[in-house]
């Protein structure tokens, strides 16, 4: 999984007044859990653009006081009025400990059902997986090249080599729906065939 580097500064004070002062200075108060100690730090708001405002999922390399930590974004709070980031929680990764995270899917291939006039409906754009940090994929490939009109693609058809998908086997990832135009064409063809037989 790709990583984004965030350079921060350790916070000396963690109270509300200190956090407000940081925000006024364009900094975001953050907390890093999961390690031996909880780390309170802050970083410029712009440093989080690549990890927050994206459909992709990245790990974060957090650099504070000459030390580097690998983490994932655990929780984020936005201001309800301005929509600015007001606080972020990160969880430190341990390379020997599995982590559960949501990863986006990537549609691959061309569906015969879509070529025949059906429409692709993606039911789950992200899937929850469990894996060791080194095995976290950037995305889960979803091959639709075998899907005919009306077919559904279930979790069981997806690769799970170095990670485990944490959804029931009957979870639908995507399906090819019969479009109104395709349905009308089929009905017209049936009527025409019926008329020929008469």
pTM of the complete model: 0.77
Whether residues 104 and 88 share a domain: the answer is no
Burial 62-91 (b: 16+ CB within 10 A, else e): bebeeeebebbbeebeeeeeeeebbbbebb
CA distance 40 to 17: 15
Residue 86 lies in a domain: yes
Q: Give the domain extent around 83.
A: 1-92
Query: pLDDT band at 195, cuts 50/70/90?
Result: low
Token pair 């976290």 in the structure block, residue: 136
Of 1 and 154, which is predicted with more confidence?
Answer: 154
Q: Is the pLDDT of residue 130 over 90?
A: yes
Query: pLDDT band at 165, cuts 50/70/90?
Result: very high
pLDDT computed for residue 57 by the predictor: 87
Residue 146 lies in a domain: yes
pLDDT computed for residue 11 by the predictor: 86
Residue pLDDT, tens place only, 46-80: 899 888 888 888 999 999 989 999 999 999 999 89
Residue pLDDT, tens place only, 72-115: 999 999 989 988 899 999 999 998 999 999 999 999 999 999 99
Q: Is-contact 109 145, C-beta < 8 A?
A: yes
Whether residues 119 and 82 share a domain: the answer is no
């Amino acid at each position: 999984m790709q990583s984004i580097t965030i350079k921060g500064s350790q916070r000396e004070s963690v109270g509300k007044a200190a956090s407000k002062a940081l925000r006024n200075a364009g900094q975001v108060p953050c907390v890093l859990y999961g390690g031996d100690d909880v780390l309170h730090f802050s970083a410029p708001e712009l440093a989080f653009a690549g990890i927050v405002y994206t459909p992709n999922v990245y790990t974060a390399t957090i650099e504070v006081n000459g030390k580097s930590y690998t983490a994932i974004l655990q929780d984020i709070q936005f201001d309800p009025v301005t929509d600015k980031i007001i606080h972020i929680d990160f969880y430190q990764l341990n390379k020997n400990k599995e982590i559960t995270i949501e990863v986006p899917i990537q549609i691959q291939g061309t569906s015969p059902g879509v070529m025949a006039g059906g429409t692709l409906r993606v039911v789950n754009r992200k899937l929850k997986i469990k894996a060791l940090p080194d095995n976290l994929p950037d995305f889960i490939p979803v091959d639709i090249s075998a899907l005919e009109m009306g077919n559904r693609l279930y979790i069981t058809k997806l690769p799970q080599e170095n990670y485990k998908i944490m959804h029931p086997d009957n979870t639908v990832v995507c399906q090819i729906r019969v479009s109104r135009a395709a349905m009308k064409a089929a009905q017209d063809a049936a009527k025409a065939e019926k008329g020929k037989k008469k």
